[in-house]
Amino acid sequence: MTIPNIITLTRLIVLTPLFVVLAASGRTGAAIVALMVLGVTDWADGFIARRFNMTSDLGKTLDPLADRLGMLAVVITLTLLGELRWWMLGLVVVPDTVLICGALFLMATRRWPLPDLEVSLLGKARTAALMTGLPLLLLASGTDGVLWHVAFGLTVAGCVGHALAATTYAVRAWQLVYGSGRVPVGSEGPDAQA
């Protein structure tokens, strides 16, 4: 188990539920901090893995799964609290559900490790917009000033970018698994976990 994998697991099993509990209980300031830490750890695990050569097959699968589940938890929570519109939730939930189901299918059919997809510029822009817009939206909650409109605009851009990025990732994964860059069927996975 590498340090980036530990950070990813912490994001998944500690920080994401913590954000949900804090936001649902009306502790907005603490929820904003938790959301910001979520964003920092999302960046940190990838940076550390690349910078210190700590990448692993487990991390390549676990990190995007933690990202997807974390984002789903955040947007569902904020939608139920009335901070996001239902159509914005759909732009995140539908593509992520498709990606998660696809990943589970690939694992169930022993196509392991999952395709190694390079993060696109669109994916990075989407993440930046959401990780900036969502905390600002919480901060501006209940107001109708400039900050709320900026936060809402960033969040809308992030949600639309999310749907577009997910579509491009799904197409690329399909090409890698079933096209010329086919992942071997029946692969038993990594010989050893880092």
Residue 187 CB partners (closer than 8 Å, separation 6+): 110, 111, 112, 113
pTM: 0.82
Average pLDDT, the chain: 86
pLDDT digits (tens, 9 = 90+) for 69-119: 899 999 999 999 999 999 999 999 999 888 878 877 877 776 666 666 777
pLDDT of residue 64: 82
Q: Which is it for the CA torsion 142, 17, 122, 51, positive or negative?
A: positive
Q: pLDDT digits over 149-161, tens only?
A: 999 999 999 999 9
Distance separating alpha carbons of residues 139 and 170, to the nearest angstrom: 33
pLDDT at 180: 57
- Return the axis-axis angle of helices 16-24 and 57-80, rounded to nearest 10°: 10
